[in-house]
Every structure is written in structure tokens, then in C-alpha cells.
């Protein structure tokens, strides 16, 4: 097969591992920077130019679209879809997963547990919002943040008010969330491929840090999910229409609570923690679908 990895950086661990796995399974693979693709739109003849040449005869793409290039990246994915190329992530699902609010709405409809969350556009109701999630400590998140940046723990109601006012002043859209303290600065990530959890890890934030993101200095260890956690991860992936994703959950007194679902989950943390060949699972997923 001819597989294209849409990635801005060929040196990233995830990109490298996908190339390795594809080559091992005897496929031809190419890394293409989505931002260097030109999208050609005309009557019934969708095409993509890359470095001046038409991209042709591609069987599948693996989008690795960073949050900062969601708009252009998903336009390129959509164009490949118009050219009848299989994508490991549908463009629609990719866009949806990038918006924390929209994702939580979909997950709540599917009956999944999540921290109590408020989104409001009315800046005068700050006190009411704070009360609704049970008062401080509480978590305030930028709607389109990633890697733990834009996630703030407000430890007092006063701090929460100031942070909300500051974000409002910047016209940044945020959600306010109940703080799940039982999770003790840890979360779990279930890596889902094609309706199966192919690996799971627990991430623990560094000392004094409530955010467990590896990018913020957290560390990962392999974990055996409970049936409830595994079911929640699979249900979340299905609800969001993601064949491949990383489902992030907090372990709480009332069971697993979904935080977010990542449609371009990194491979490094999960492969190192679990010693599993996740890249190969992704390539095999493509083989089953093309």
C-alpha cells in the first residue's frame, strides 16, 4: 500500500515509529507536511499538490495534525477524503475532538462520566458558575488548550474570580470544572485502536503539580484498566467517531471521569510505558480498512 503520514516534523518519535511499522509491513510510506499541500478544488476533480506535484495513488493517510494547525490540517484531510483515500481519523471527528466543549457535549449524551463542567458567555455570573461546580478548588480551562497549557487550578473562590475575569478580559473562551482531588495529580490514558484498548498508562504529575501531562514533567507507568475504565474508553471513542484515539480519564470516587479524547495521540509515552508496538496496531488497522 501507499501510505502518507501527514506530519510537520519527520523527526518526531510518533512519525518515525509509524514509518518503521509501515516499512516492516512492506508498505510504501511518505511523510508529507500538510501545510505545504495545495488544495485544488474544481468540478468533480479534487486534487492535492505537494511541492508542485500531484499526489496520486495513495491508499491511506495517517493525520498527525497539531492543535495549532487544525484548520489547514483538517482541510487537507478532508481533501484526501474527497479523493477517496482512507484516513485513520475522519476530518469531522478530528475537528470535533479539538473542541473540549463540543466533545464533552457528545460524551455526556453518550452517558459517560465527566467532571461537572460549566461553559458560560455571560461574564457577570462568575459567582454562580463557581458555586455550581462546588466552589474552589476548581479547574479553569481554555477551550482549545493542549499539553496542559491553559489549564489552571484556582485554589480559592477569589483566585477563581480573578482568573475568570482575566480570561474574559482577553476574550478567551473557557470551561469551569469541578476539581477531582481523589485523582491526586494523576490521570489514565487508554490508547484505542479500532474498538480495542491496545495499551493503557497512568500518568502522574511531578511533585506539586496537578496536571499529569508528560509535557509538563509527568511520568508514565503501565496500568491494567478496570472493566469500567475500559468500557468508558471504548464508548468515548465510539461516540466521537474516532478509530484511533487516546482517551484521558480521571479515577474518581464515582468511577472513571473522561477529561478529553485526543485524536492525534503521541506514541512515545504509551510505547515506552507499555512496551507495546502501538504503531503496528495502527498500520494493521489501515490494512483491515483499505
Q: Which is nearer to ligand ADP, 30 or 155 (CB)?
A: 155
Smaller CB separation from Mg ion, 14 or 79: 14
How many residues belong to the site for ligand ADP (CB under 6 A)? 23
Please list, residue by residue across 182-192, b when 16 or more beta carbons sit within 10 angstroms of its beta carbon and e when fewer do. ebebbbbbbbb
Span interacting with Mg ion, options 34-42, 61-69, 158-166, 248-256, rule CB under 5 A: 248-256
Residue from 14, 183, 264, 281 that binds ligand ADP (CB under 6 A)?
183
Residue 263 near ligand ADP by CB under 6 A: no
Q: Which stretch binds ligand ADP (CB under 6 A): 44-52, 90-98, 144-152, 275-283?
A: 144-152
Based on CB atoms, which residue is closest to Mg ion, 64 or 280?
64
63, 148, 265, 269: which one contacts ligand ADP (CB under 6 A)?
Answer: 148
Q: Considering only residues 17, 96, 98, 141, which one is a binding residue for ligand ADP as defined by CB under 6 A? A: 141
- Pick the closer one to ligand ADP by CB: 79 or 117: 117
What residues from 188 to 247 belong to the interface with ligand ADP (CB under 6 A)? 205, 210-213
Cα 142 to Cα 1, 15, 119, 173: the distances in Å are 40, 27, 11, 6
Of 229, 235, 265, give the one whose Cα is nearest residue 89: 265
- Which C-beta is closer to Mg ion: that of 29 or that of 233? 233
Q: Which stretch binds ligand ADP (CB under 6 A): 69-77, 157-165, 172-180, 225-233?
A: 172-180
Note the residues at the interface with Mg ion (CB under 5 A): 248
Note the residues at the interface with ligand ADP (CB under 6 A): 115, 139, 141, 145-148, 151, 177-180, 183, 187, 205, 210-213, 248, 250, 259-260
Amino acid at each position: 500500500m501507499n501510505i502518507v503520514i501527514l506530519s510537520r516534523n519527520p523527526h518526531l518519535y510518533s512519525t518515525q515509529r509509524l514509518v518503521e511499522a509501515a516499512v516492516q509491513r512492506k508498505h510504501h510510506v511518505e511523510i508529507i507536511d500538510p501545510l505545504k499541500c495545495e488544495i485544488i478544488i474544481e468540478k468533480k476533480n479534487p486534487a492535492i499538490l505537494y511541492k508542485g506535484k500531484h499526489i496520486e495513488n495513495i491508499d491511506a493517510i495517517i493525520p498527525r495534525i497539531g492543535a495549532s494547525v487544525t484548520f489547514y490540517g483538517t482541510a487537507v484531510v478532508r481533501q484526501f477524503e474527497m479523493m477517496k483515500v482512507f484516513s485513520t481519523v475522519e476530518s469531522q471527528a478530528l475537528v470535533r475532538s479539538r473542541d473540549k466543549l463540543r466533545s464533552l457535549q457528545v460524551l455526556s449524551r453518550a452517558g459517560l462520566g465527566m467532571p461537572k463542567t460549566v461553559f458560560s458567555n455571560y461574564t457577570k455570573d462568575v459567582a454562580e458558575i463557581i458555586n455550581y461546580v462546588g466552589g474552589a478548588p476548581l479547574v479553569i480551562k481554555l477551550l482549545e488548550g493542549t499539553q496542559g497549557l491553559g489549564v489552571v487550578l484556582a485554589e480559592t473562590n477569589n483566585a477563581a474570580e480573578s482568573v475568570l475575569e482575566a480570561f474574559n478580559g482577553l476574550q478567551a473562551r473557557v470551561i469551569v470544572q469541578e476539581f477531582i482531588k481523589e485523582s491526586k495529580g494523576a490521570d489514565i490514558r487508554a490508547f484505542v485502536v479500532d474498538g480495542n484498548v491496545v495499551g493503557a498508562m497512568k500518568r502522574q504529575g511531578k511533585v506539586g503539580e496537578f496536571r499529569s501531562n508528560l509535557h509538563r514533567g509527568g511520568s508514565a507507568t503501565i496500568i491494567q484498566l478496570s472493566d469500567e475504565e475500559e468500557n468508558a474508553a471504548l464508548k468515548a471513542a465510539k461516540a466521537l467517531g474516532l478509530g484511533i484515539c487516546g482517551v484521558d480519564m480521571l479515577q474518581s470516587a464515582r468511577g472513571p471521569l473522561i477529561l478529553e479524547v485526543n485524536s492525534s495521540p503521541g506514541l512515545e509515552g504509551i510505547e515506552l510505558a507499555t512496551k507495546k508496538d502501538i504503531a503496528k496496531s495502527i498500520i494493521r488497522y489501515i490494512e483491515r480498512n483499505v
